[in-house]
Amino acid sequence: EVQLVQSGAEVKKPGESLKISCKGSGYSFTSYWIGWVRQMPGKGLEWMGIIYPGDSDTRYSPSFQGQVTISADKSISTAYLQWSSLKASDTAMYYCARLSSNGINYWFDPWGQGTLVTVSS
């Protein structure tokens, strides 16, 4: 079974750093892009960026470029989303998802269970 399992909920203070993870299993982790999606409380889905674990090629949404860092460690089939200095506005649920394809079209499937990040003083 293809599965993405994310790290647990985090509570942080403004200015702190954070790295959350997404571990893939049941497929060749290096052969599929992994994306990150933000969902702020009571709001919709926002695409943050994607990474290809095979060579760490990374693309960011213009809205998140410079705000977060996406990385991957293919040796342990894990992708990461990282902040160097959190803000209260980073409070949200963060989902990872595998980018699946038929060679022409692309879609996110499956999704991880989500990691809730709460930033509060």
Partner 1 sequence: QSVLTQPPSASGTPGQRVTISCSGSSSNIGSNTVNWYQQLPGTAPKLLIYSNNQRPSGVPDRFSGSKSGTSASLAISGLQSEDEADYYCAAWDDSLNAVFGGGTKLTVL
DSSP bridge partners of 99:
108
Q: Do the strands 92-101 and 115-119 form a parallel or antiparallel pair, or are they unpaired?
A: antiparallel
Q: Give min distance, CB of 118 to partner 1, in A.
A: 16
Q: Do the strands 45-52 and 3-6 form a parallel or antiparallel pair, or are they unpaired?
A: unpaired
The reply to whether 54 sits near partner 1 by the rule CB under 8 A is no
The reply to whether 102 sits near partner 1 by the rule CB under 8 A is yes
Phi/psi at 31 (5° precision): -105, 0
The reply to whether 108 sits near partner 1 by the rule CB under 8 A is yes
Q: Nearer Cβ to partner 1, position 27 or 111?
A: 111
Binding site for partner 1 (CB under 8 A): 35, 37, 44-47, 50, 59, 61-62, 95, 97, 100, 102, 105-114
